[in-house]
Amino acid sequence: MSIDNQNDYWDKVAQQKIFTHPVNIDLLLQFVEKDATIIDYGCGYGRIVTELIDSGFSAVAGYDTSIEIIKRGKEKHLPIYHIDAPPDLPLQDYSVDFILLFAVLTCIPSNKGQRDLIQLLHSKLKPGGVIYISDYYLQNNEVSKRRYTCFENEPDNFGVFTLPEGATLRHHTREWISSLFADFTVECELPVAVKTMNGNTAEAFQLIVRK
């Protein structure tokens, strides 16, 4: 099992976790029409896919590497699909208008894994296509500060930690996020308070970037 694709963990907790990062539909509508091709990458059980469909978006699909989480969403007959590994996105290059990437980077601890994913998504976007990211910068509390480490002792791969239940996650420096999306134009960034999948309060960021 790759550290950047912890399927065993996500399959194990598929029926337990609740994902809560809020989707700002009004913000989304500033960048995309309701008939645009929209992909929720790392869609989980389809929470955001459901919100978009309920809001009138007509060409939405989600993809996730956890087969058990996908099964949870499939019980509601959602257009969400299992992929075996993060690169296995069955879409043509230059075919997607808009991608949501909600609490996905936090699940990919390594620099290489994150870079590879963003390169993949860049290749699927049409020229001018947009990614809407919701994720975590480093948290400014003592519990978080004590547990942050560098992945494989790489100084620029900081903010990694392992939960007692087994998942290895990552929070990010601003410098790393800027470098990760260096090939995009940043359209806007907003702070947002969220609940983590374990119900803890955290400060997140939401970022809109354009190819």
**How do residues 25-41 score in pLDDT, each as one tens digit?**
999 999 999 999 999 99
User: Rounded mean pLDDT of 86-91?
Assistant: 92
**φ, ψ of residue 190 in degrees (nearest 5):** -135, 140
Q: Token digits for 27?
A: 């913000």
Residues 6+ apart with CB under 8 A from 152: 110
Domains in the chain, ordered, with CATH? 7-136+182-210 (3.40.50.150)
Instruction: Return the C-alpha torsion angle 44, 45, 46, 50, nearest 10.
Output: -150
pTM comes to 0.95
Whether 151 contacts 111, CB under 8 Å: yes
pLDDT digits (tens, 9 = 90+) for 159-184: 999 998 889 999 999 999 999 999 99
